[in-house]
Amino acid sequence: MGVTLIKNGTVVSPTGATPQDVLIDGEVIVAVGAPGYFAATEEGADRVIDATGKYVIPGGVDVHTHMELPFGGTSASDTFESGTIAAAWGGVTTIVDFAVQRAGEDVHAGLAEWHRKADGNCAIDYGFHQIIGGVDEESLKAMSYLVEHEGVSSFKMFMAYPGVFYSDDGQILRAMQQAADCGAMIMMHAENGIAIDVLVAQALARGETDPRYHSYTRPSPLEAEATHRAIVLSHVAGNVPLYIVHMSAGDALEEVAAARHHGRNVFAETCPQYLWLTLEETLAKPGFEGAKWVCSTPVRSKDNDPHWKGLHGHGHQADLWRGLRMNELAVVSTDHCPFCMKDQKELGLGNFAAIPNGIGGVEHRMELIYQGVVAGELSLERWVETCCTTPARMFGMYPRKGIIAPGADADVVVWDPNRRTKIGINDKHHMNMDHSAYEGFVIDGKVDTVLSRGMVVVENDQFHGRTGHGQYIKRGLSQYLV
Ligand code: DUC
Ligand code: ZN
Ligand code: ZN
């Protein structure tokens, strides 16, 4: 790989956008200097990337993906190989995926299974969170072991999906106490799954089987209520750091904002689907097409959820964009959980509750949130902060990941604001899916060049990476706590 110089670009960090040159030696950024400062080095450099008129940003960090997740009677359609290649195409250089443990299963075996799936198969670096789907003495002990020895410092729990991943309040409290004890973060899928199951059964009994009922039976107050309950439990458990995943609703966001106002270590992420997609334009399409957008938490109504008008009378999306600006939402991830329509989503023909839950988006997060910058929803700095820097800090990977700085891994994206990206199955689309959730979206910007630990993996609209280049990242504790 040798020495790489990226010159004439504008380096963007959470604190500003400044003209700077970036010098890379091997896998690491060794210096960042004023434009022209490395001119003497240029001749001996192995590669010079001219970033004139372009932004130079840290590689994207997507801390919520599900490659090869067995779920809903099938498995997420991206392997670690196809999913990390698609991620690289989208300017993502680190993912954190979820190893799985269910009730009665061994946590160590679950983690080993995820290593088996990923090792040698990733094009970019990766880490793991651990899902705790069964709380017992063994799994509690394993949590501390994983933090200390395995580089897994965050544990996802579910207040939804009874009979699959669900934990009751007592089990959640117990796991939170364990996390508080070992310094870990609890990640929470906050939806009241017991109440949702009642609404689902009632809808099906009325013959309401179309995909749109997936959202109607998961109304936002049940997300807000679960968010509130998780916050209370985390307080009682000794103020364990709590991170609410895939937040979709303004009323849930209010709960996080209130906790943060009280100085609590309560955080939340949202995902592009909640910022850009609406029930009316996706799930509610005629026939079965809406199945493409069945995910949980659900895509919500534009402005008149039948159960909830939107906190400020303007629907949820405006609340979420504001939350991102205000740091009530600290991170944008994707919850990348792709399923094809054929043979996968089709399992729910005639029964929305049997449609595998998930949307694929790992390739498009940087693009879709950049479009928020173009639309005036977010600053350039905040784009980088929510998609690169904070995810790295939140989950113990900083400053190796998430920043352009001496000593950091040379995970770098050159971003061209003067070109466009057309998303769609016959346009930009590298995920292993037979459709795109963002078909027809046009982005006023484009991934130009992507480096993963100094290696050029995307350049000139070509993939130059290598399966197996990606390394496992042993993570430390969160570096984002107040
Ligand atoms: N939500 C999804 O949409 N898919 C996987 C799991 C989840 O919580
Ligand atoms: Zn979830
Ligand atoms: Zn998820």
User: Average pLDDT for residues 401-414, to the nearest whole number?
Assistant: 98
pLDDT surpassing 90 at residue 308: no
What is the pLDDT at residue 312?
A: 44
User: Average pLDDT for residues 205-216, to the nearest whole number?
Assistant: 96
Residues near 156 by Cβ (< 8 Å), separated by ≥ 6? 98, 129, 130, 131, 132, 186, 187, 188, 189, 245
User: Average pLDDT for residues 108-136, to the nearest whole number?
Assistant: 98
pLDDT band at 315 (very low <50, low <70, confident <90, very high): confident
Q: How far apart are CA 84 and CA 79, in angstroms?
A: 8
Q: How far apart are CA 466 and CA 85, in angstroms?
A: 9
Centre of ligand 3 to C-alpha 27, Å, is 30
pLDDT surpassing 60 at residue 112: yes
Centre of ligand 1 to C-alpha 344, Å, is 14
pLDDT band at 445 (very low <50, low <70, confident <90, very high): very high
pLDDT band at 302 (very low <50, low <70, confident <90, very high): confident
What is the pLDDT at residue 321?
A: 95
Angle at the Cα of 149 from the Cα atoms of 236 and 104, rounded to 5 degrees? 65
Shortest-distance atom of ligand 1 to CA 356: 4
pLDDT surpassing 70 at residue 306: no
Q: How far apart are CA 300 and CA 253, in angstroms?
A: 14
Our measurement of the distance from residue 425's CA atom to the centroid of its chain's CA atoms, rounded to an integer in Å, reads: 21
Mutation to probe ligand 1, out of 295, 333, 355 (largest number of atoms < 8 A from CB): 295
Domains of the chain in start order, with CATH, are 3-57+403-463 (2.30.40.10), 59-394 (3.20.20.140)
User: Average pLDDT for residues 262-275, to the nearest whole number?
Assistant: 98
pLDDT band at 309 (very low <50, low <70, confident <90, very high): very low
> Token pair for residue 80?
């670690």
Q: What is the pTM of this model?
A: 0.97
What is the pLDDT at residue 20?
A: 98
Query: Tokens 């790295």 belong to which residue?
Result: 392
Which ligand approaches the C-alpha of residue 358 most closely? 1
What is the pLDDT at residue 311?
A: 43
Shortest-distance atom of ligand 1 to CA 245: 8
What is the pLDDT at residue 313?
A: 47
Would you say 241 and 153 are in contact if contact means Cβ atoms under 8 Å apart?
Answer: no
Shortest-distance atom of ligand 1 to CA 359: 3
pLDDT digits (tens, 9 = 90+) for 325-354: 999 999 999 999 999 999 999 999 999 999
Angle at the Cα of 423 from the Cα atoms of 443 and 449, rounded to 5 degrees? 70
